[in-house]
Chain A
């Protein structure tokens, strides 16, 4: 049964009660009318005398009112009238039940009050009785009640409930919907937990969750729609979990989940969670950054180490990394240990290795490193390159060139000296 129907039924029942009361009243009213007619005659005679007799009594008949906030069991006393708030039948429909009585008899009635509808007792305030109106149902425990009366009745006062607070008949469910992460990426799995707890004192029945509609930014994997117990005793809780996959980049507001239930009186009660925002980022992928630190110019025939760093600057682990290198031009610079493979580089992780370079011919060379990997969104390629210079043969002894002619001249002079030395 849907909650709307339940509410209607509840309302109908309340009206039937009223109609029943109204039937009883009708018989009484006929009697009253007969009596009233007699009284009117008597009173009209008396009225003429009264009008002629004294004007001072006019002030005592003036009608006034007071508003009181009553909890369950609280009452208003004025003169010999007493009005007690029995219960709040429906906050939503605005129905409260009050018991009105008069000491000395003549009035002891429990009546359901529709919100903002006046109810007269003993002719109402205009006729020396009282008129009661539930002006506002604050919650299912309290309501604001107006009492109208003639000032001659005195001043009304509020009396707190003398009855012990009733317990064990008022369920109160709280519902909470939560994601295990408020920010995720496309492709991420998210766990949604719906938790219901009966914080009230009565048993919650016919518990139903309304977690609709499904969010289009997710694909529902398992557990949806969430299922929980039909009934929860006070203090009990239940939860349901379902799994979703984020499939679309977005910032979305997750609507509230509503729980409906009935109390022991088949009152339909509702509660809902607070809506909240989540962010779905683009899909997490791995991305590799290649850094190559090559040695300075290599002397011809010399060697040097090129240090290679491959860093995962993405948000997903890179797997099956294959690094291959080549050198252009291919002849003149030799490298060993270029090709490497790595199983995985986690996000933020880095692998390093070195390559031995050996310069065979002078010239400018380009070292090119090509890395293929699985970045979480298919295979990807990253490349890096660096320049290496192999110097021409360096002659560090140019200054000897100056000495050579000097040596030659000296040798020549010495030789000539020897030729003439005897």
Chain B
């Protein structure tokens, strides 16, 4: 059995973590009742910890137990200032790591974080670094959430620097999820957040279940680690669940890789470096020949594809995890972030010059009373 640690860092990470716990309760409205009478049904031994400097963000959580909420005291949050966040982490590193240590040893850790916020973007690189330092054998995968582009230059700036730090770590890859890309799930931002969080949570639980299941065709943590180490060590996930009208596993696999089913905009055929395709469903729907042919098609473009087949009652469900050899959207973000930073810098220079010019009017004067 896999020992999995899921850390939700910052407001965004906390909410995704809460969504994971909610899905583990069964999801939907029933989970509101289920949380009072049931324990979360995780496929493996899963420990969750929500870390935040803003206590109000922790209070908003509904499906994460209080003992799994770790408040890092830093007055009223980071104010999106990563430097403050880093300092806060360093100041509270021992308590944070001590809280993780209490939960035992783990094989796999997911760090759920926003790349743009204050706490998440500043804490996560340092936290991952600490995890890898204290638990050398642990596989640490970051689930990094890219911000809405219109959220502001600081968030973009944070995302840019945070992503860079995450990529420079000796971690085991990053799974990207782009809010801007997934905004299409819902019209308004509030419901989009919930949908995005739920989507990410379901895919993570599917992945954990698949890595810890007896499969018809085996994929395990090692395979997952290999996949995540491919390409830029940045990847994303695609997911598709067939309905009763079309139970073709071939179509399910293809659909799982289509852009509208991905967490991050990518072209699997062109950009995938390594991939893992996990197919789950009733045996009558799992045509191995079709699966093999379809996987071979992906392999032709992605280089190497691990396939896992889990026999479980229901329509075919497919989770595809792949790393990218190229991430053009990231470049776009960095460019946008750089522009934003440049604009900010220019605005600040202009403001400073205007202020200096204003001060120049009284430069040789004394106060007269």
Residues of A that sit less than 8 Å from B by CB: 412-413, 416-422
Contacts and interface: CB of A to CB of B under 8 A. Distances in A.
B262 to A, nearest CB: 33
A417 B69 CA distance: 14
Task: Pick the most buried of A412, A421, A422: most chain B CB atoms within 10 A of its CB.
Answer: A422
Given A412-B37, A413-B36, A422-B69, 15 more contacts: A416-B35, A416-B36, A416-B37, A418-B66, A419-B65, A419-B66, A420-B61, A420-B62, A420-B63, A420-B64, A420-B66, A422-B58, A422-B59, A422-B61, A422-B66
Contacts of B65: 419-420
B36 A417 contact: yes
B286 to A, nearest CB: 39
Nearest to B65: A419
Interface string B60-76: 01111111010000000
A417 B35 CA distance: 9
Contacts of A422: 58-59, 61, 66, 69
The 8 A-B residue pairs with the shortest CB-CB distance, nearest first, are: A416-B36, A422-B66, A419-B65, A422-B69, A413-B36, A422-B59, A422-B58, A420-B65
A416 to B, nearest CB: 4
Contacts of A417: 36
Contacts of B37: 412-413, 416
A243 B66 CA distance: 113
B156 to A, nearest CB: 31
Contacts of B67: 419
A204 B66 CA distance: 137
Contacts of B35: 416, 420
A344 to B, nearest CB: 80
A418 B66 CA distance: 8
A160 B65 CA distance: 150
Contacts of A413: 36-37
Contacts of B64: 420
Interface in B147-196: none
A410 to B, nearest CB: 11
Contacts of B59: 422
Most buried by B among A412, A413, A420, A421: A420
25 contacts: A412-B36, A412-B37, A413-B36, A413-B37, A416-B35, A416-B36, A416-B37, A417-B36, A418-B66, A419-B65, A419-B66, A419-B67, A420-B35, A420-B61, A420-B62, A420-B63, A420-B64, A420-B65, A420-B66, A421-B66, A422-B58, A422-B59, A422-B61, A422-B66, A422-B69
A98 B64 CA distance: 157
A419 B59 CA distance: 12
Contacts of A420: 35, 61-66
Interface string B26-49: 000000000111000000000000
Interface string B116-131: 0000000000000000
B157 to A, nearest CB: 31
A422 B64 CA distance: 9
Contacts of B69: 422
Interface string B62-95: 1111110100000000000000000000000000
Nearest to B67: A419
A13 to B, nearest CB: 142
A418 B69 CA distance: 13
A412 B35 CA distance: 11
Contacts of A412: 36-37
A6 to B, nearest CB: 132
Nearest to A409: B37
A416 B38 CA distance: 9
Nearest to A415: B36
